[in-house]
Structure 1
Amino acid sequence: MTATEAASDETSDETGRRARLLFRNRDYTGWWIGETVSEFGGALSVVAYPLLILGVTGSASGAGAVTAAVSIGGLVTMLIGGALADRISRRTILTAGPLVQAVAVATVVVAVATDHVNVAHIAAVGFVQGLVSGLAGGAEFAALRRVVPEQQLPTAFAQLQGRTMAIRLAGPSAGGFLFGVARWIPFFGDAVSFLASALGVLLIRRPLGPDLDEREPHESMVASIGAGFRFIRGNAYLRFLTIWAALANACNAGMLLLVIVLIHSRHGSATLVGAATSLGAVGGLAGSFLSGRIAKRVPGRLLVIVVSWTTTGVLIGIALVSQAWLIGTLLALMMFLIAPINVVFATYEARTIPDALMGRVTSAINFGAASIRWLGALGAGALASAFSPTAAMLVFAGILAAIALSTHFASGLHVLNEPIDDATAD
């Protein structure tokens, strides 16, 4: 055995040891199980909601309205949630939120089981789910820091990333299959999963904060939120990232809805829709394993340019092919490339944003990135209804082509030409 092999084995053993120690942490294990059940329940309904609207009304615009409602709801409360997490009990936020979501989704179960489904009701439920997710998002990371010792945080984040990729792989297929068995089943599973999330938080023994001395009056919420946006405005790279992510996310939301509409319009089953979506997750899972190596070997600016043009080609391909498995394969290619670009963006943010502004700046970036996501789903549904799903997909491909062209000239992107390790806080 060479020295390199020995070092590799030692690193692998250390990683495994840390993972075992982490799961001996009762608070973390209970929370992790509850969140896993909840995330899987949510994955069941990701495919089920558009299929429900398409099955009941046949309206692609209605399906787009429901998808948009979730995004809009989260957008309304995202910035407020980050500020509230440092002002009131995080345990209360993380317990009450899932209970509200469980009640909201339960009304969908009743509506589907009794054949009283209408777009306005389903959109309202999606909006409520988005509102709660936006509020709870600010407390989740802070609570995790209380539950997991600092030296074990990298292991915890790796486990969470792997869990998310695995659920994205299995969830849509399971949701499509269960929807085919009985339309109400995926929504029932989603409602029950929220209860598991609340229970997992209630079983945590240690305090989640904020402590009493941390609740002393600080600057106003508006001023605190504004500081994050001011920092972005003064940084050319962060300005580019926020605008690029906003447009890309809107196109991605529209594309995912149009994939469902395309397969459905070609008489594909709910199971086939779920399978194609899950095939895309396979690419994301593979990309997550290789993202570190790719990010180290490919300059960041070049990676952004390549991914921007590749996603344009993927959308053109999806619009023109007819087989569901080919659509899934193209999705897999796109998701494979998105994983390493996320590593570049996240690493550069972590190294260039001052610690004192980290929460406010990152929440502002996330807010900007999600700001028009709802418009992508709404526009996709409207275009598909007015023209055709194929034409709508080509419109989104044109928008991505314009974004890809801009990456060649964006001054803020040139900073990624330098090694990421050389980046420092501004």
Structure 2
Amino acid sequence: MATAQPRSEEDERTEEAEDRPGSLWRNLDYMYWWTGNGMSTLGTSVSTLAFPLLMLAETGSVTQAGAITACHMIGTLVMLPVGGVLADRVSRRALMISASFGQALAMGAVAALVYGGDPTILLLDLLALLGGLAAGLRSGVSMSALRRIVPKEQVPTATAQGMGRDMVAHLLGAPLGGLLYSMSRWVPFLFDALSFLFVTLASALIRRPLGPDRYTGDGPRPGLFTEMADGLRIVRGSQYLVFTIVWGALLNVVAEGFTLLFVVLVQHRGGSPTDVGTATSLALVGGLLGATAGPALMRSMGARRVMLVAAWLFVACFAAVVWVPRPWQIGLVLLVAMTSMVPLNVVIESYQVRLVPDAYLGRLAAVVRFSVQAVQWTGPLAAGFLADALGVRAAVLVLAVCMVALALALHVARGRLSILDIPLAEVREIDPPGVSAPAPVVDTDANDRSKEDSSGEDDRRAEAGCGRVDDMTEHSGHHDQNKQMEPAKAPGSELLASDHDRNRVAEKVRAAVAAGRLEIDDLDARLAQVYQARTHGELDVAGRGLPDVGPRDALVVDRAPTSRFALGMFGGFERQGEWVVPSRFTAWSMWGGGRLDLSEARYAEQETVIRAVALFGGTEIILPDDIEVEVKGFGLFGVFGKRGARKHNKPGTPRVLIKGLAMFGGVVTKTREMGGRSLEK
């Protein structure tokens, strides 16, 4: 009988590299989500500056200028809880499209009113309120959609990149808003409307199922307010969630108060408005540095240590800003403060997203944002009162004392934050309300032997208060005979699945739909089950009853090409199935996107050239593994992926050359292994 050969270190490194998730910049769905939200933030920054300027020009009243901003904030705050519940009940894709399109209509109406001259103030307030309602609806969907778009291991990276993107958008938004307003009063609002149209398009182009899953409970589905209460219960059931939501809201109050006082400090030190802008720019640069370093710091330092270091650095910045004499030095202190605060937010949000089941993510997002926004207005109000009563320097010191209390709370609440000692990828979701994990079958002899060794680990898990945690025997040094015994399962069923494995089963599902084995209505449900699977056992359940993809026919055929050109401009295109590719094919994506799937394609010639151009858009090209591929494209402020390129030595194999340009966009190539294997990312 043949004996198994020992695996070399090189084989293990190769397998680890294959299972490691690819760069997020090569994830086309993520690029749509990332750019769409970036354009939304930029447009909102522009209109946020333009609204008060418009009201001051029309009425001369500072109260009216504040009122229209308040209308937008009130609308957002009121809609957040409802939007969070709807995100867990209704198609998230439909909600994202509807909300952003509603914002586009509201801002377009404002632009039209201002362009017509002498706009009605009450109507402008109403449109700002409607825009806020749409913004609240969209806020409840964003977090839950992100979890479906990126693998759980990349949630911290995606969160950090989103924060960095928003920093840049805010940095550019104010000067861009002033420039557009100087051109004409209605232009900033038109720009904001167009930005929301871009978000609508980007949301529509995302291909991955965003959920939520179909309701599978017994009896009719609970009502809106009942599910809202369920969301609060799942938050209350986790010590970590309760602490971080309350702690984060209080931190936001202190930070908002500090933002006001820093402007006053710069002016008291003889600084001009230009100096205020310079200091603000330095703070945003610090935010970008923190966003870049955040995921790496989590991996190297650990999540808990990142929180502690960041909190105490923020305390030090509060103290330092009081004593530094020059405005530019205040800006440097703010740079350090923002560099420390962004990784802290990355830690908090990443663990929140990882802990909460997908069916409750919308409600979690609503609770978090409602808690923060409901109290953040008290920060500037309290800071202004303290500055008038005690002086600016004393007011900053009072806020520093408050920050010391918040930093000490992280030490006092060590038990509530014990989940941070567990690597993010190994954290399991908390149980929904009313659901308890089944009790394991215990081997009493093994349990007696291991009781002393495992007590420390059990205490740490119990302190977390956040539900179940993946088995971490490899990291804790426990031996297999010292573990609690679970019911018998198929060999390998508990092995964690990779994106490579999930895509393999997803391909079987799509092939079954194409062959008529599954109804088209079952496609989204099955794919959602596949992409939610964490283990091979769950993947087997998702792909139950489905055969592997069968063999392929001859690739070069004597048939007329299906099409020679594809264009996605403010829209999308797709070529898939058994279509015939010409010897020369051109694909343009401009403010849009598209997908060329060659896995089932036939070729009119042995040599095929695909010219792909992406300008502020994206094109995804799926390549089978049994053809020869060469990629010669160029990325200028964009990505032209070459990971799909491979040589194939089989005689007569078709050859595909992909060339072109990606400017502020992406052309992404992926390889699909035929014969039942899956996409290589």
The TM-score, its normalising length taken from structure 2, stands at: 0.49
- 283-292 or 400-409: bigger deviation: 400-409
Correspondence list, 1:95-174, <5 A:
95-105=97-107, 127-141=129-143, 148=149, 158=157, 161-162=160-161, 164-169=163-168, 171-174=170-173
**Aligned match for 1:44, one of 43, 46, 71:** 46
Deviations 1:264-313 (A, max 9, x none): 786634x6544433322222222223223323444544543433333234
Deviations 1:337-393 (A, max 9, x none): 123323432444355445665554454344334331233345456666888766655
Correspondence list, 1:185-334, <5 A:
186-202=188-204, 217-259=220-262, 268-269=272-273, 273-298=276-301, 300-318=303-321, 323-334=326-337
The structure-2 alpha-carbon separation of the partners of 1:29 and 1:241, relative to structure 1 and needing over 3 Å to count, comes to closer
AA of the residue aligned to 1:286 = L
Is the 2:139–2:365 contact (alpha carbons within 8 Å) kept by the matching residues of 1? no
Is the 1:82–1:135 contact (alpha carbons within 8 Å) kept by the matching residues of 2? yes
Deviations 1:201-253 (A, max 9, x none): 45567886668878994122222222232233343333221211111112223
Q: Note the C-alpha offset of 1:179.
A: 1.3
Deviations 1:8-47 (A, max 9, x none): 9x96998667744x33x6xx66665444322322233456
Is the 1:175–1:274 contact (alpha carbons within 8 Å) kept by the matching residues of 2? no
Q: Which runs of 5+ in 1 are unaligned?
A: none
Is the 1:174–1:274 contact (alpha carbons within 8 Å) kept by the matching residues of 2? no
Tell me, in whole angstroms, the C-alpha distance in 1 between the residues paired with 2:382 and 2:117.
28
The structure-2 alpha-carbon separation of the partners of 1:40 and 1:217, relative to structure 1 and needing over 3 Å to count, comes to farther
Is 1:364 the counterpart of 2:367? The answer is: yes
DSSP-derived class of the 2:377 partner: helix
Tell me, in whole angstroms, the C-alpha distance in 2 between the residues paired with 1:119 and 1:295.
49
Tell me, in whole angstroms, the C-alpha distance in 1 between the residues paired with 2:313 and 2:121.
35
The structure-2 alpha-carbon separation of the partners of 1:417 and 1:203, relative to structure 1 and needing over 3 Å to count, comes to closer
Q: Which structure's residues are more often strand, by fraction?
A: 2
Is the 1:97–1:133 contact (alpha carbons within 8 Å) kept by the matching residues of 2? yes
Q: Note the C-alpha offset of 1:65.
A: 6.7
Q: Note the C-alpha offset of 1:95.
A: 3.2
Is 1:76 the counterpart of 2:78? The answer is: yes
The structure-2 alpha-carbon separation of the partners of 1:343 and 1:423, relative to structure 1 and needing over 3 Å to count, comes to same
DSSP-derived class of the 1:219 partner: coil
Tell me, in whole angstroms, the C-alpha distance in 2 between the residues paired with 1:144 and 1:192.
23
Tell me, in whole angstroms, the C-alpha distance in 1 between the residues paired with 2:229 and 2:361.
13
- 100-109 or 38-47: bigger deviation: 100-109
Q: Which structure's residues are more often helix, by fraction?
A: 1
Tell me, in whole angstroms, the C-alpha distance in 2 between the residues paired with 1:64 and 1:250.
19
Tell me, in whole angstroms, the C-alpha distance in 1 between the residues paired with 2:95 and 2:124.
24
Is the 2:34–2:162 contact (alpha carbons within 8 Å) kept by the matching residues of 1? no
Tell me, in whole angstroms, the C-alpha distance in 2 between the residues paired with 1:120 and 1:161.
39
Is the 2:76–2:132 contact (alpha carbons within 8 Å) kept by the matching residues of 1? yes
The structure-2 alpha-carbon separation of the partners of 1:197 and 1:296, relative to structure 1 and needing over 3 Å to count, comes to closer
Tell me, in whole angstroms, the C-alpha distance in 2 between the residues paired with 1:77 and 1:350.
21
Equivalent residue number for residue 577 of structure 2: none
DSSP-derived class of the 2:222 partner: coil
Tell me, in whole angstroms, the C-alpha distance in 1 between the residues paired with 2:180 and 2:272.
15
Equivalent residue number for residue 544 of structure 2: none
By relative contact order (CA 8 Å, sep 6+), the higher-ranking structure is 1
Tell me, in whole angstroms, the C-alpha distance in 2 between the residues paired with 1:106 and 1:316.
45
Is the 1:172–1:278 contact (alpha carbons within 8 Å) kept by the matching residues of 2? yes
Q: Note the C-alpha offset of 1:78.
A: 1.6
Tell me, in whole angstroms, the C-alpha distance in 2 between the residues paired with 1:273 and 1:49.
21
Deviations 1:69-125 (A, max 9, x none): 554433322221122124345454333323433354457667888998999988766
Is the 2:143–2:361 contact (alpha carbons within 8 Å) kept by the matching residues of 1? no
Tell me, in whole angstroms, the C-alpha distance in 2 between the residues paired with 1:196 and 1:357.
28
AA of the residue aligned to 1:221 = L
- 411-420 or 185-194: bigger deviation: 411-420
Deviations 1:127-153 (A, max 9, x none): 54432221112334555677x5x76x7
Tell me, in whole angstroms, the C-alpha distance in 1 between the residues paired with 2:48 and 2:303.
32
The structure-2 alpha-carbon separation of the partners of 1:58 and 1:404, relative to structure 1 and needing over 3 Å to count, comes to farther
Is the 2:159–2:350 contact (alpha carbons within 8 Å) kept by the matching residues of 1? no
Equivalent residue number for residue 573 of structure 2: none
Q: Note the C-alpha offset of 1:413.
A: 4.2
Is the 1:291–1:343 contact (alpha carbons within 8 Å) kept by the matching residues of 2? yes
Q: Note the C-alpha offset of 1:408.
A: 3.6
AA of the residue aligned to 1:409 = V
AA of the residue aligned to 2:295 = G
AA of the residue aligned to 1:295 = M
Equivalent residue number for residue 481 of structure 2: none
Equivalent residue number for residue 404 of structure 1: 407
Tell me, in whole angstroms, the C-alpha distance in 1 between the residues paired with 2:319 and 2:118.
38
Tell me, in whole angstroms, the C-alpha distance in 2 between the residues paired with 1:347 and 1:164.
12
DSSP-derived class of the 2:221 partner: coil
The structure-2 alpha-carbon separation of the partners of 1:232 and 1:155, relative to structure 1 and needing over 3 Å to count, comes to closer
DSSP-derived class of the 2:89 partner: coil
- Percent of aligned pairs with the same amino acid: 33
Q: Note the C-alpha offset of 1:404.
A: 2.8
The structure-2 alpha-carbon separation of the partners of 1:221 and 1:251, relative to structure 1 and needing over 3 Å to count, comes to same
**Greater gyration radius:** 2
- 235-244 or 87-96: bigger deviation: 87-96
AA of the residue aligned to 2:251 = A
Is the 1:70–1:126 contact (alpha carbons within 8 Å) kept by the matching residues of 2? yes
